[in-house]
Amino acid sequence: MDKEIKNKAKNARRGAKGSLTRAMNVTNELIEASRSKSEVKQAFEELRRAHEGLVMKREEFTMLLDDEEFEEAEKWMQVCASEYVAFTMRYHDYIKKIDEDKSKQNVSDSVVGESSEENNEESNDSQRSNNLIEQSTVPNENNHPSTMQNPEMIQHSPSSAKPFTVKHEKAKLPVFTGDVRQYFIFKSDFKHAVEAQYSERDTLTVLRSCLSSEPAKLIEGISSDLNAAWKYLDQNYGDPRIVSDTITLDLERFRSIQPGEDHRFCQLVNLVRRSYNILKEIKRPQDMDNTHVISLIERKMSEDDLR
């Protein structure tokens, strides 16, 4: 009976994956055909709903699995999540390109309008100049007309230079491997780069793809509550005291510098600077700026370095 229920849930998950694939293909065809923004957005909305359906079916299926089967199901879902995230980024790039093209077109239309007005003004100025020239024509000694032109009447059409643009490589998503020293920076970068662009559920999907296996296990079973996911991660990696203790341990483990090891002095300097920056990020710079840590750093230096 349990096997039958499990197979039924697995088939439901497979059907949800098929719906997601079809929705992704439809949206991709619209993008390839350079269809309108409204059409592509409507298709992507269907794609987003299909992804939500897959996540729900995946949750129902994994509740029936043992640990080994769960790991296999997670790998399968990770592949699906990566495909969805990659396509979502492509969709946002396409929408952004449409908006940029529209903005450029508006600027171009504005420039054309201004150019037309300038041409009209130049035409009027030219007509006035011709009238003045005719009025200023006087006979010379040979009774031939001589034209006197005022330099101020000469018109110079302004030249407009095209703006210089530089294309740069897209920033990669941050990845967290479980190092408590990097957690606060990872969280800050992720919120800045991802949360402002995606819905809460999509953001959670992206978050899973940015975690290595160990941190990812902490948020297993959380399908839509992004705050709960951050809470679990904060509890395990976001305690400033643990970060401070880890940094102090790094300094204690650093082997004392021997005479002639100038390169290791540079390594110590970099370690101290990096450690201080991390503590400053978590609002605990005082954990390094004290006599205990300063004495510890001095003990790692050679006599030549202390002179």
pLDDT tens, 283-300? 999 998 888 889 989 898
- b/e per residue 218-244 (b: at least 16 CB within 10 A): bbeebeeebeebbebbeeebbebeebb
Three-point CA angle 199, 201, 205, nearest 5°: 110
pLDDT at residue 63, as a whole number: 80
Mean pLDDT across the chain: 81
At 112-143, the pLDDT tens digits run 555 556 566 666 666 665 665 555 554 544 55
**Non-local CB neighbours of 262 within 8 Å, separated by 6+ positions:** none
At 141-181, the pLDDT tens digits run 455 554 444 554 445 555 555 666 666 666 678 889 999 99
At 220-246, the pLDDT tens digits run 888 889 999 999 999 999 999 999 999
| Least confident residue range of 53-57, 208-212, 215-219, 277-281 | 53-57
Confirm whether pTM is higher than 0.75: no
